[in-house]
Structure 1
Amino acid sequence: MMKDLADKLTQWIKEQIEKADAQGAVVGLSGGIDSACVVALCKRAFPDNVLGVIMPCYSNPQDAEDAKLVAKTLSVPYEEVDLNDPFDWFIQRLTGQDYDIHSCELSIVNIKPRLRMTTLYYFSNSLNYLVVGTTNKAEMVVGHYTKYGDGGADILPLANLVKSDVKALAKELGVPQRIIDKAPSAGLWFGHCDEKEMGIRYKDLDQYILSGNVPDDVRRTIQTLEEKREHKKYMPPIPPVE
């Protein structure tokens, strides 16, 4: 089943990129399972035209090491772009203060994924590649991504897969077990954990999406996130023409 899924997603990526008259794919490598799966699929679709980009920004050093492990395991060329300095500039310019690595203020930490999006589109434009995003269905449902940050991409091959599907796909694609077992984190701040930020486990979120059979408190948490972040899922609204 996962082999068929991998083949279908590989073909879909190839078709989407060729339809755009582009020549390959660029993927941000975070050191997590989603980006590992996406870059593996892109490597299958375009063996000689895929680039991974590692973009530490006051990140856990282990994330960059894990990203390099993925790139080397899958024989994917990569660029490493340290974003600490431009991030510092923005924080100083906007707040007049130095960055506190323990800060979890979204207006501050969301600058990180937006700088990463800008970096990816530099490589995309210069190489005539598409930016292939890494957001999965669980994240799509509750809007667990940064608008115009990691949500900014040309195609989203994992957007119909819940987290458990991604884990199964990762095994089929040869993603290192260390990456599969790693706790999910967007790395927005020191010690950041996706499940802690959302207030729900991916296991429960998957179950909600697949069957709706979850405890009432979990359902309320998910539905609150859905309503609050609904705007992320669509292009900006425009008024009707009279």
Structure 2
Amino acid sequence: MSPWLQHAISRTLGVTTDFDEALEVRRRIDFLGHYLRQASCRTFVLGSSGGVNSLAAGLLAQAAVSELRADGYDAQFIAVRLPYGVQADERDAQKSLGVLGPDRVVTIDIKPAADAMLEAVMVEGEDLVEPARKHFHLGNIKARQRMVAQYALAGSTRGLVIGTDQAAEALMEFFTKFGDGAADILPLAGLTKRRVRAIAKHMGAPSELVFKVPTADLESDAPLRPDEEVYGVTYDDIDGFLEGKAVTEPARQRILKTYWASGHKRALPVVPTDKLVK
């Protein structure tokens, strides 16, 4: 693969060659605060899972809100716990909330809604759902129910929903379309996983949360399955690819195959154009 293609993909996902965590923290706090004012909104709403992505995004949001209030602007940060029944790593989620210190914590159990939706789908569509992938489909329903809950809170508090998508997950399509991939503002956009960790560490997060093994924890039959196991490639390889470094050929091929196959997940809904008409 030519270095140009690797560079082009990185630029498309917003990854820069140089990175300074202090400068990035300042830039992203300013971005959040400016946009909240510009949108005439008052609240940031963030689903807090206990992972480093939501931890870093939450630290940035709380810092932005604190600065806005110091400047006389009425703003608040709401962290939302969205377990499916009992979360396997609930202890880490609670530690994360302790680090964030949000203005308000709201807990919403999405299990009743997610289970009811899958049950409703199965009434007439059971033959369309492969039994082996039932938990995968339920996982996508969970992610979308979580976003429904966050927008319900945002809509009642003049709020903006913060998404936790970053460049490594965008590259590997590791998000649910219109689930955790849906949000109003993405303060971690353009960051590799190691850079997200660097921001969280710079802002005072403890190492046990910063370097916790990443997991989406969506599939009930495989709780806490590591992201890297799903990818078939490590975050070091993914981050290295995005940062313009050399990676092994198997890793490069896996990354490219995933990236090309998942373009629709990173795009707005498609519309008819003259180019489609013959």
- TM-score normalised over the length of structure 2: 0.80
Q: CA deviation at 1:59?
A: 5.4
Q: Secondary structure at 1:78's aligned position in 2? A: strand
Pick from 197, 217, 226 the counterpart of residue 230 of structure 2. 197
- Structure 1 residues 191 and 40 mapped into 2: Cα distance closer, same or farther (>3 Å)? closer
8 Å contact from structure 1 (residues 104, 188) kept in 2: no
Structure-2 residue corresponding to 1:122: 152
The one-letter amino acid paired with 1:50 is: F
Structure 1 residue 39 corresponds to structure 2 residue 39: no
CA distance in 2, matches of 1:201, 1:174: 26
The total of aligned residue pairs comes to: 237
Gaps of 5+ in 2: 1-19, 67-74, 127-131
User: Which amino acid letter does the alignment assign opposite residue 14 of structure 1?
Assistant: G
In 1: Cα distance, 2:111 partner to 2:48 partner: 17
CA pair 59-207 structure 1, distance change in 2 beyond 3 A: farther
1:238 is matched with: 271
- Deviations 1:89-126 (Å, cap 9, x if unpaired)? 112222259xxxx9674322100110001001011111
Q: Aligned-residue CA RMSD in angstroms?
A: 1.9
Runs of 4+ residues over 2 Å off in structure 1: 58-61, 102-108
Partner of 1:214: 247
Helix, strand or coil at the partner of 2:199: helix
- Quote how far apart the aligned CAs of 1:65 are: 2.6
1:93 corresponds in structure 2 to 120
Query: Where do 5+ consecutive residues of structure 1 fail to align?
Result: none
| 3-state SS of 1:52 partner | strand
- Whether the 8 Å CA contact 1:24–1:129 is kept in 2: the answer is yes
Structure-2 separation of matches of 1:135 and 1:27: 12
Offset at residue 4 of structure 1 (A): 2.1
Aligned to 1:12: 31
**Aligned pair in 2 of structure 1 residues 237, 103: CA closer, same or farther (>3 Å)?**
closer
Are the structure 2 counterparts of residues 211 and 115 from structure 1 closer, same or farther at C-alpha, using a change threshold of 3 Å? same
8 Å Cα contact 2:33/2:65 also seen in 1: yes
Q: Give 2:229's aligned amino acid.
A: K
TM-aligned CA distance change 1:177 to 1:120, over 3 Å: same
Question: Measured at CA, do residues 104 and 33 of structure 1 come closer, stay the same or move farther in structure 2, by a change above 3 Å?
Answer: farther
**Cα displacement string for residues 168-203 of structure 1 (whole angstroms, at most 9, x for unaligned residues):** 111111122221121101111223221111111111
How far 1:67 moved relative to its partner? Answer: 2.0
Contact 1:138 1:162 in 2 (8 A): yes
What secondary structure is seen at the aligned counterpart in 2 of 1:138?
helix
Q: Deviations over 1:151-174 (max 9, x none)?
A: 000111111110110111111111
**1:163 counterpart = 2:193:** yes
> TM-score, normalization: structure 1?
0.92
Structure 1 window deviating more from structure 2 (197-206 vs 135-144): it is 135-144
In the alignment, residue 156 of structure 1 is paired with which amino acid? L
Matched AA of 2:76: N
Q: 2:178 aligns to what SS in structure 1?
A: coil
> Which amino acid letter does the alignment assign opposite residue 247 of structure 2?
V
Q: 2:22·2:202 contact (CA, 8 Å) conserved in 1?
A: yes
CA distance in structure 1 between the partners assigned to 2:27 and 2:202 by the alignment: 13
